[in-house]
């Protein structure tokens, strides 16, 4: 037996032994018993048929340039090495071009166990952050001012627009509580300056998305409202106490979790009250606060891992391993090279026993479960 086969069998054996234990931790869609059972079944399938590279691939999302699928990306999807793709404005020179690209991505043949739709995601927040024309027709700040009914309607309209081109995941709404001088408030990306206002108007937007068949994503946990600059361009330290973060910044997420939210994005800012590394790399936040304290059972995803906020903590391989070890399910890369480096690093650490096999497979099971829920 060669080394790769032996490692694959060790992974499968370990997963089969723990599948019954981790199944309950893997429900993903609005807390339904049916979805939890489906996720548990998915985990057994993972244990039986996925190679280590495919198992790692269920933790990865990558982007691409333009409207043509590069051969390397096509090959990665064909091999089952990616769970989804993230698209930007350059991928939508027109709605027709974007729809055609997404159709081509979804049509790439994949291994039998991985034929569920890819998670195709965009940032369609409204205001300054929109990847394609169409709703929402207002910024988060305006939706917050106009109230829950308006926000819910904008969520439904946005879902219809995204579904029309084949997008199944919106990386919105922003649940950050806006603060004076904070970049989130200054760019009108926050639904309000109090936790109550954000919860009352951002969660209805998420409900509208979900009602329209699009997965909503609450971001940026545990809250980015106090950041002075965008973490895409600078390292940010959020110098708030645990008590303050929990009482204010995390409060809208508690409402979102109670409402059955299916996806949460982890911030890449640093929260010294918890650790000296980004939230996406901090187990006390990604697992302790989000899953244990708030009871979130869905899929978690990092913010982009090639940004200035992450650069000081190592390359994509090291970042991917750190996020997986912290308990984040999906690792978001804006290009394929970073995702490939992360996949190699994850496979290596799994083989060395330096990533917990049971947790790893539970995360892959949650992602596969979510993919099975996405409507094409």
Q: What is the mean pLDDT of the chain?
A: 89
Q: Read off the pTM.
A: 0.89
Question: How many other CB atoms sit within 10 Å of the CB of residue 149?
Answer: 11
CA-derived radius of gyration, the chain? 19
Question: pLDDT tens across 179-221, in order?
Answer: 999 999 999 999 999 999 999 999 999 999 999 999 999 999 9
Q: Which of 153, 144, 151 is nearest to 197 (CA)?
A: 144
> What pLDDT does residue 36 have?
54
Q: What is the DSSP string of 209-258?
A: HHHTT-EEEEEEET--TT-SS-TTTS--B----HHHIIIIISHHHHHHHH
Q: Which of 194, 343, 323, 341 is nearest to 268 (CA)?
A: 323
Confidence of residue 308 (pLDDT cuts 50, 70, 90): confident
Question: pLDDT tens across 290-304, in order?
Answer: 999 999 999 999 999
Say whether pLDDT at 27 is over 50.
no
In the chain, where are the structural domains located?
Answer: 58-354
**Average of per-residue pLDDT across 144-164:** 98
**Could you report how far apart the first and last alpha carbons of the chain are, in Å?**
40
Confidence of residue 46 (pLDDT cuts 50, 70, 90): low
Say whether pLDDT at 15 is over 60.
no
Confidence of residue 45 (pLDDT cuts 50, 70, 90): low
Q: Are strands 215-221 and 263-266 parallel, antiparallel or unpaired?
A: parallel
Measured distance CA(280)–CA(303) in Å, rounded = 8
> What pLDDT does residue 232 have?
87
Measured distance CA(362)–CA(124) in Å, rounded = 29
Q: Are strands 331-332 and 263-266 parallel, antiparallel or unpaired?
A: unpaired
Choice between 8 and 28, residue whose per-residue pLDDT is larger = 8
Assign domain 58-354 to a CATH class: alpha beta
Say whether pLDDT at 19 is over 60.
no
* Strand ranges, E, within the chain: 60-63, 84-86, 119-122, 169-170, 215-221, 263-266, 299-302, 331-332
> What pLDDT does residue 39 have?
55
Question: pLDDT tens across 91-100, in order?
Answer: 999 999 999 9
Say whether pLDDT at 119 is over 70.
yes
C-alpha dihedral over 40, 45, 48, 53, to 10 degrees? -100
Question: pLDDT tens across 310-358, in order?
Answer: 988 889 999 999 999 999 999 999 999 999 999 999 999 999 999 999 8
């Amino acid at each position: 037996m060669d080394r790769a086969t032996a490692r694959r069998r060790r992974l499968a054996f370990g997963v089969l032994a723990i599948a019954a234990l981790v199944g309950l931790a893997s429900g993903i869609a609005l807390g339904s018993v049916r979805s939890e059972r489906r996720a548990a079944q998915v985990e057994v399938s993972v244990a039986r048929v996925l190679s280590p590279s495919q198992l790692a691939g269920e933790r990865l999302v990558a982007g691409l340039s333009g409207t043509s699928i590069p051969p390397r990306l096509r090959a990665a999807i064909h091999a089952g090495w990616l769970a989804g793709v993230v698209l930007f404005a350059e991928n939508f020179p027109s709605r027709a071009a974007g729809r055609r690209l997404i159709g081509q991505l979804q049509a790439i043949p994949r291994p039998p166990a991985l034929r569920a739709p890819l998670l195709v995601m965009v940032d369609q927040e409204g205001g300054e952050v929109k990847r394609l024309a169409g709703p929402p027709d207002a910024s988060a700040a305006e939706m917050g001012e106009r109230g829950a009914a308006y926000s819910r309607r904008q969520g439904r309209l946005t879902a219809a627009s995204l579904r029309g081109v084949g997008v199944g995941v919106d990386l919105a709404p922003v649940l950050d509580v806006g603060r004076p001088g904070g970049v989130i408030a200054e760019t009108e990306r926050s639904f309000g300056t109090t936790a109550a206002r954000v919860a009352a108007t951002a969660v209805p937007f998420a409900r509208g998305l979900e009602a329209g068949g699009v997965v909503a994503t609450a971001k940026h946990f545990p809250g980015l409202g106090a950041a002075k600059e965008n973490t895409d361009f600078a390292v940010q330290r959020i110098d708030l106490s645990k008590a303050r973060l929990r009482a204010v910044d995390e409060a809208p997420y508690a409402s979102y979790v109670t409402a059955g939210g299916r996806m949460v994005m982890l911030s890449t800012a640093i929260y010294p009250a918890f650790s000296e590394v980004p939230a996406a790399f901090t187990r006390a936040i990604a697992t302790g606060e989000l899953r244990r304290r708030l009871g979130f059972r869905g899929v978690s995803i990092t913010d982009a891992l090639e940004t200035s906020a992450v650069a000081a903590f190592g390359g994509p391989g090291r970042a991917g391993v750190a996020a997986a070890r912290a308990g984040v399910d999906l690792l978001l890369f804006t290009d394929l090279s970073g995702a490939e480096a992360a996949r190699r690093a994850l496979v290596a650490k799994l083989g060395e026993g330096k990533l917990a096999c049971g947790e790893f497979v539970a995360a892959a099971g949650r992602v596969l479960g979510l993919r099975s829920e996405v409507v094409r």
